[in-house]
Amino acid sequence: MLTKDQLQAYWRQNLTYIVVLLSIWFTVSYLFGIILADVLDRIKIFGYPLGFWFACQGAEITFVILIAVYVKLMNNLDRRFGVQEE
């Protein structure tokens, strides 16, 4: 049985993860892929202008990584607080 404090600590930690990961989510798509795309385009990686690359591939790849990281973090958190399922 967890105490009220422990339950709140679990939830606060989850919220922290979400805020951090969604900030990255926002940065790679809305900042790098849209708002700052023209500035980043001055940097070229092979044939890719960087802003263009973020918009058409980089953001999408980052999204996949973000979910993978969240899954891993939450599985650990569940175990630490003993709320994991069998």
Q: Which residues bind to other proteins, rule: CB under 8 A? A: 1-2, 7, 10-11, 14, 17-18, 21-22, 25, 29-30, 33-35, 37-38, 41, 45-49, 51-53, 55-57, 59-61, 63-64, 66-68, 70-71, 74-75, 78, 81-85
Report in angstroms how near the CB of residue 30 gets to other proteins at its nearest: 6
* Helix ranges (DSSP H) in 2-58: 4-26, 37-40, 50-53
CB of residue 5 vs other proteins: minimum separation in angstroms? 12
**Helical ranges in 35-58 per DSSP H:** 37-40, 50-53
Q: How far apart are CA 72 and CA 21, in angstroms?
A: 13
